[in-house]
Amino acid sequence: MSCNRHDISVTNPLFPDRDVFGGSVGDAAVQAEQVARLQQVKATRDPQKVAELLGQIDQAARDPNASLMPLFVEGVAAYVTLGEICGVLRNVFGEYQPDVWV
């Protein structure tokens, strides 16, 4: 699994001694904790409900008159991850690739 690593040098004026994001973005311990939390969420959610909602999002994304926001809200309430939702949308709409020119 790859991990984005950014050098973020923003300080919180209320807590100048702490990182704005609560830990270094590249901190292995923070990453391991987040992965464990995500695995716990995925293990305890209803997989049938998640699959159903992702299918509904896929269908709605293909319908130009459908509203996606209510499905996003319902999906998040059922612990569908942002990555899973974005994956479905990426399959339907593709991913933006800017023109490269000099």
The string of pLDDT tens digits covering residues 41-58 is 999 999 999 999 999 999
Rounded distance, CA 14 to CA 20, Å?
10
The string of pLDDT tens digits covering residues 61-98 is 999 999 999 999 999 999 999 999 999 999 999 999 88
Choose among 83, 85, 87: nearest CA to 71.
85
The CA-atom distances, in angstroms, between 81 and each of 6, 25, 51, 101 are 22, 20, 12, 35
